[in-house]
Amino acid sequence: MYPIDNNLYWLGRDPPKAVHFKNVKQVHCVDDLPDIWGGILCVNLDDPEEQSHMLVSIFSHQKVWSWAMYVTHTNHYSDCLCDGVFNEQTAYNYWLEINHRLNKLSNIEQIDPLTGWLGIQRTRRVTPFKQLNYLGIYQYPIIEALYPELYSTYRYVLSEVNREMLEPEKLVDRIRVCKQCNSGHLNYVEVCPNCKSIDIDVQTSLHCFTCGHVGDQQSFLRKGKLECPNCLTQLRHIGVDYDRPLETHICRSCFHLFVEPETISNCLNCETQTETAELIVQKIHQLKLGQLGEYVYQHGKVLQAPELSIKGKVDAGYFENILLWLNKVALRHDEEHLLLSMYLPRLEEYSSLYGDSKMFALLDQITVRLNGLFRDTDICCQYKQDVLLVLMPKTKMTSISVLQKKIEQLSSLIEEEQFVLHVSAVKIPDPTINEGVKVWLAETIGNIYAAR
Ligand SMILES: [Zn+2]
Ligand SMILES: [Zn+2]
Ligand SMILES: [Zn+2]
């Protein structure tokens, strides 16, 4: 049962007298902390830099993700790692809350630290921190503290977002980085579009209509009058004798005249020159626990293979593309297809009730039965963990009753009382698919969830 002990651990000067906690125990480094889950620590160091280093080192403690952690002086960096400014009353309640949740976790040892850290306190976020002396400019202190061996926290975040372990919550910034070394320290500089020299100037030019000469306005000035330096014609009326060309820039290296300079980026780190369009754009998000992260947190591990192995099965992105394409074909050629969705509402519950091996057995049965039902030309996709989509080309809505009967038979064949399958069908084409297939699918699936 948690909490394991009732002590407040205090690192730094002036440990307070305990009111809610049993004892206040002073520690000096991470090695002094006990090897327990669900402890509480407050760091009271005056030097912000020392505090930051100490906080990072504390995260090397294997179980510290499950601790409540405070400081006496906050700053942007500590906000990324800690639960705020220490106040015994609020800290005590917060700590009790964490321990209450720890008691509900079945296999605490298997949870990876980041998922645990985010899962145990839902107000925690993976927060980016801007640091100018850092090559990539933004770091994620909590990720660097928990996984110091990572080479790029940005790439780590990206891949965790892709597999839905993390979910972007708020866009904090959008930066461009060097394609060579990922440095965010770039200098944007205007260059001559002809020879790429940086030695360019703004110049107001005049264009003599008589001889076609173009030159700096200054060179046309003769005794307070305008006169072409080339053919010596007096220029009186703009639009009649002369005009101002659009080219307002001149290159001092090749004397090229141009309207707009090109902008290129020079990496201040590796000196690679890049056209701005070729720079890598990074979106810097604040993140929270994602859908899969939630699952892993609750079940202690990634579900190995909740995937149905059905013939003609494709991944979600591929399925979306096919759906979009088939929809366009159907609109053009006046065809009719069917999108069948099957929702297994209790799958998750089932696995937590009966364990994974039982669930795999169930999925196996479903797989065998479904494989007998579909044609070779049908395309299946396990779009969500509990939603299976089947695209049935050239199938009319009118055949749904036959199909339904077959599915009912199938359901009754599955030897499991807990097994529930909701089936619904949507007719294709639907013009709104063209406006955004992901959104359309999300809505369709939303309807299935709502209908149960
Ligand atoms: Zn030039
Ligand atoms: Zn002239
Ligand atoms: Zn670079």
| Structure confidence by residue, pLDDT tens digits, 250-288 | 999 999 989 999 999 999 999 999 999 989 899 999 999
Ligand 1 mean position to 254 CA, how many Å?
Answer: 4
Ligand 1 mean position to 189 CA, how many Å?
Answer: 14
Residue 305 has pLDDT above 50, yes or no: no
pLDDT category, 449, cuts 50, 70, 90? confident
Question: Widest CA span of the chain, in angstroms?
Answer: 105
pLDDT category, 401, cuts 50, 70, 90? confident
What tokens were used for 204?
């107001």
In whole angstroms, give the CA distance from residue 99 to residue 120: 9
CB 72 within 8 A of CB 44: yes
Residue 158 has pLDDT above 90, yes or no: no
Ligand 2 mean position to 235 CA, how many Å?
Answer: 9
Residue 432 has pLDDT above 70, yes or no: yes
pLDDT at position 341: 87
Of 309, 378, 303, 314, the closest CA to residue 347 belongs to 303
In whole angstroms, give the CA distance from residue 357 to residue 366: 14
In whole angstroms, give the CA distance from residue 279 to residue 84: 37
Residue 388 has pLDDT above 90, yes or no: no
* pLDDT tens profile 41-78: 999 999 999 999 999 999 999 999 999 999 999 999 99
Ligand 3 mean position to 280 CA, how many Å?
Answer: 11
DSSP 234: B
Task: Give the number of the ligand closest to the Cα of residue 176.
Answer: 3
pLDDT at position 348: 66
Residue 190 has pLDDT above 50, yes or no: yes
Ligand 3 mean position to 132 CA, how many Å?
Answer: 15
Would you identify the CATH topology of the domain 303-451? Alpha-Beta Plaits (3.30.70)
Ligand 3 mean position to 183 CA, how many Å?
Answer: 5
pLDDT category, 311, cuts 50, 70, 90? low
Ligand 1 mean position to 208 CA, how many Å?
Answer: 23
Residue 243 has pLDDT above 50, yes or no: yes
Coil, helix or strand at residue 6:
coil
Mean pLDDT, residues 162-176 taken together? 92
Distances (CA, A) of 168 to 171, 289, 293: 7, 9, 13
pLDDT at position 352: 64
189: Cβ contacts below 8 Å, ≥ 6 apart: 198, 263, 264, 265, 266
Surrounding residues of ion ligand 1, Cβ less than 5 A: 192, 194-195, 197, 251, 253-254, 256
Residue 14 has pLDDT above 80, yes or no: yes
Domain with CATH 3.30.70.270 in the chain: 303-451
In whole angstroms, give the CA distance from residue 54 to residue 14: 17
Ligand 1 mean position to 250 CA, how many Å?
Answer: 8
Ligand 1 mean position to 203 CA, how many Å?
Answer: 14
Ligand 3 mean position to 136 CA, how many Å?
Answer: 10
Ligand 1 mean position to 181 CA, how many Å?
Answer: 28
Task: Report the mean per-residue pLDDT for the chain.
Answer: 87
* pLDDT tens profile 97-124: 999 999 988 788 888 899 999 999 999 9
pLDDT at position 306: 44
